[in-house]
Chain A
Amino acid sequence: MPIPLLSVTSDALDVEAVVRRAEAEAGAGQHGAVAVFIGNVRGENLGRRVVELEYEAYEPLAINAFGIIAAEAGEAWPGVRIAMRHRVGRLAIGEASIVIAAAAAHRAEAFRACRYVIERVKQIAPIWKREIFDGGEAWVEGATADPSDAAARIAAYERACG
């Protein structure tokens, strides 16, 4: 069974399944390019040895956020189709936390849209990670989630096109 276009799961991520889902959304013969981003758990952060990460999501809002982000990417690069899947729960070092596939007619917009989507996920998706490191644990806090913040959206676009 195909995975949903935009999803959150506690299962290990299957990169191929996300790629196939983006390709299916683009339609046979329509995607000359698919760019893929895989976010992995790193074993070191801020000079500390990371043991594992635990991700928590507000799932229904996360799916809404993914929809907002995919629509923004479609506005910026018409014709691009996004599939993404974020993992939650406890992840070991080296495991993938997110897979994004951007299918487009040509490579330029596929790469740009894929970069844009990960930047926006980091800005607004209601997902949090707790780092369990040697000697303690701490929630990681990044951006205050505000999908209507135009400056953040522009910053993500500029990173995508830089």
Chain B
Amino acid sequence: MRITILVFAKLGDLVGAPRLVREVAAGSTIEDVWRALAGEFPAAAPYRAALSAAVNAGYTKFSTPVAEGDEVAFLPPVSGG
């Protein structure tokens, strides 16, 4: 199934684009999506411990399964305000 992946700030720089479209296997979780992304962009891999995740613009856990058409976002440590 096809999903959209959003990455922000330093993570966006490491990946080289703010938005990617990828095919993932049915039953994949957000953790699986991250593993595939980190495999594709090894420089991003060390970020895992500091990341938060969102699906369809709602905060979520890495154990959440993804569905066709989902927008999955990986959020580095925030610095707003």
Indicate whether A142 sits within 8 Å of B78 (C-beta atoms), given known contacts A56-B8, A60-B57, A64-B58: yes
Q: Is the CB of B81 within 8 A of A56?
A: no
Report the tally of A-B residue pairs with Cβ distances under 8 A: 95
Q: How many angstroms between the C-alpha atoms of A59 and B79 in the bound complex? A: 14
Choose among B58, B73, B75, B79 the residue that contacts A129 (Cβ–Cβ < 8 A): B79
Q: Does B10 contact A (CB under 8 A)?
A: yes
Closest to A97 in B: B81
Q: Is the CB of B58 within 8 A of A125?
A: no
Q: Does A146 contact B (CB under 8 A)?
A: yes
Stretch at the interface among A11-19, A22-30, A103-111, A116-124: A116-124
Q: Mark B1-32, 1 if CB is under 8 A from A, else 0.
A: 00000101110110000000000000000000
Closest to B61 in A: A148
Q: Is the CB of B6 within 8 A of A144?
A: no
- Would you give the shortest CB distance from A66 to chain B, in whole angstroms? 10
Q: Is the CB of B76 within 8 A of A129?
A: no
Q: Interface of chain B, helix or strand or loop or mixed?
A: mixed
Closest to B18 in A: A56
- Would you give the shortest CB distance from A111 to chain B, in whole angstroms? 17
- Would you give the shortest CB distance from B15 to chain A, in whole angstroms? 13
Choose among B50, B57, B78 the residue that contacts A64 (Cβ–Cβ < 8 A): B57
Q: Is the CB of B73 within 8 A of A61?
A: yes
Q: Is the CB of B6 within 8 A of A141?
A: no
Interface residues of B in 66-81 (CB under 8 A from A): 73, 75-81
Closest to A124 in B: B78
Closest to B78 in A: A145
A: which residues have CB within 8 A of B? 39, 55-58, 60-62, 64-65, 86, 97-98, 118, 121-130, 139-148
Which 7 interchain pairs have the tightest Cβ spacing?
Answer: A127-B80, A128-B9, A60-B57, A141-B77, A140-B79, A139-B10, A145-B52
